[in-house]
Amino acid sequence: MTEFATLQEMLLIAHARMEPAVWDFVNGGTESEVTLRRNRHGLDRLAFRSRVLNDVARIDTSTTFLGHKLALPVMMAPVGSLALIDPAAAVSVAAACKACGSLLIYSTFADPPLEIVRSKVDHPLILGLYVRGDQAWLDAAIDAAVAAGCLAIAVVTEAPYYSRRERDLINRFRSRGSKSTTYAATQKVLREGASAEAVAAAEARMVTARLTWKTIERIRRRSSLPIILKGISTAADARLAVEHGASAIYISNHGGRQLDCAPGSIEVVPEIVDAVSGRTAVIMDGGIYRGTDVLKAIALGARAVCIGRLQCWALAAGGEAGLVRMMEILEEEIIIAMGLLGVTKLADLSRHHVVATDALDPPHIFNPFPVVKERLAALASRAGAERD
C-alpha cells in the first residue's frame, strides 16, 4: 500500500482503511465548515504566471527554518489525535521526517509521549504546545522540551475553546481535546457560582482560555528556545508577536477546525508577511495538499508550509513508509512545477508568479483530487442505491 504513484491513490487507500468516524474527524471542520472550504478556495483562486527560456536543468527545493535545513519547504503540523490512526503515530512521523529531511511539530496531545519519541528517533523536533494546565504544568512542559533537545516551542494560540465540530457531534465521536461539559454550562457556573468544587472544576476547564501575551513572556523567561506563535491571522497580532520576540509566525486557522467563517490561511499570508517586514520567518498551514499549493505559499512570502490532513492520509495509507512516499511525490510535484515556472530555487519565487483568478469548482476539500471526488461520489451513490 506504500507503492502508490499519486497522492490521489494514497487518499483512496486512506479512505478504505480509516473508520468512517475517524475519516470525518480528520476531514471535517467546525460548524458550517466555511473556514475549511475557504482554506482550499483561497488556493484554488491563485493561478501561476510562468517565465520561459530560463535554464531550469538544476532545481534546488531546499530551505532553512530556524537554522535547520529542510529538503523541502514542508513540515508536519501538530496533530494531537494521530494515535486514532496509529498508536505509535508520532514515532512514525518523526522517523519519516528524519528520512525526508523534514521536521515534526509534536503536539502535546500526541502519543507516544515526547521522551519516547525522542528516544526512538534521533532527529530534532519542535514542541507544539497546547497550554492546558496551570503554571506548574506549563513550566514542566517547557522543561521537557528543553530536555528533549527540541529546536523550538510552537505555542498554539488559536484554540482557547474547543469548537463545535458537528460531524463529530453527529457521530458521537470524542477526541482527546473535546469537552464532556458544555461551555455554556461552565460559564453559568462561573457567572452564577455554585459549590466550591464546581467552581474549581469550571476554572480548570477554562485554563486554555487564559493564554495571554504574559504567558509568552513566561515561556521566554523559562527557556532560551525560540518561540513560534501558531494561530496568527492578522497583521496586528503579527506585529505584537514580533514585539514579544517570536522567532517565527505560524499562520493557521487550525485547518478550519476552530473559528467558523474565518478567511482562508493563504489569503492572509501577504498581509502578515508585509507586517513583519522580514523581521521574523512566516510559515503557514491550511489546505496544503499539492506541490503547487506549497509553491503558492512560498511565492506569497512564506518560508515553509505545514501539513496536517495530508500527514494523516499518508499515515493511514501506509504508516511511516506512506509518509515517506507522500513526501517523495510532493518533491516530484514541486520540482516539476518549479521548472515549468522558470525558477531554480525557492528564493526566485515572488508575488509576480501568482495572480488572483476565478476558481473552477465550488469550494471543496478534495478539489485538488478530481479522481478521488469522482470515486467517492460513485461509492456514495452505490451505497445509497443499496439502502434504497
DSSP 185-214: HHHHHHHH---HHHHHHHHHHTGGGG--HH
| CA geometry: angle 38, 42, 46, nearest 5 deg | 160
With 80 as the cut, is the pLDDT of residue 176 above it? no
> Residues 300-312: pLDDT tens digits?
999 999 999 999 9
- Is residue 25 classed as helix, strand or coil in its secondary structure? helix
Q: Active-site positions?
A: 254
Q: Tell me the mean pLDDT in the region 352-366.
A: 95
With 70 as the cut, is the pLDDT of residue 282 above it? yes
> Residues 32-69: pLDDT tens digits?
999 999 999 999 999 999 999 999 999 999 999 999 99
Cα torsion through 321, 373, 308, 351, rounded to 10: 110
> Residues 318-351: pLDDT tens digits?
999 999 999 999 999 999 999 999 999 999 999 9
> Residues 229-255: pLDDT tens digits?
999 999 999 999 999 999 999 999 999
What pLDDT is attached to residue 1?
56
What pLDDT is attached to residue 177?
66
Name the residue with higher pLDDT: 52 or 2: 52
Percent of the chain at pLDDT above 70? 99
Q: Which amino acid is at 268?
A: V
What pLDDT is attached to residue 56?
98
Q: Name the average pLDDT for the chain.
A: 95
CB atoms within 10 A of CB 299: 22
Q: Tell me the mean pLDDT in the region 126-151.
A: 95
> Residues 20-41: pLDDT tens digits?
999 999 999 999 999 999 999 9
What pLDDT is attached to residue 3?
85
Q: Tell me the mean pLDDT in the region 357-371.
A: 95
What pLDDT is attached to residue 377?
93
With 60 as the cut, is the pLDDT of residue 199 above it? yes
Cα dist. 114→67, 136, 139, 218 in Å?
22, 18, 15, 21
Confidence of residue 180 (pLDDT cuts 50, 70, 90): confident
CB contact set of 20 (below 8 Å; sequence gap of 6+): 171
Confidence of residue 384 (pLDDT cuts 50, 70, 90): confident
Q: Tell me the mean pLDDT in the region 344-370.
A: 96
Q: Tell me the mean pLDDT in the region 367-380.
A: 95
Domain boundaries, the chain: 7-387
| Options 3.20.20.70, 3.40.50.300, 3.40.50.1100, 3.40.50.2020; CATH of 7-387 | 3.20.20.70
**Residues 41/359, Cβ–Cβ less than 8 Å:** yes
What pLDDT is attached to residue 194?
80
Strand extents, DSSP E, the chain? 46-48, 63-65, 68-70, 74-76, 105-107, 126-129, 153-156, 227-232, 248-251, 281-284, 304-307, 354-356
**Residues 303/346, Cβ–Cβ less than 8 Å:** no
d(CA 83, CA 130): 17
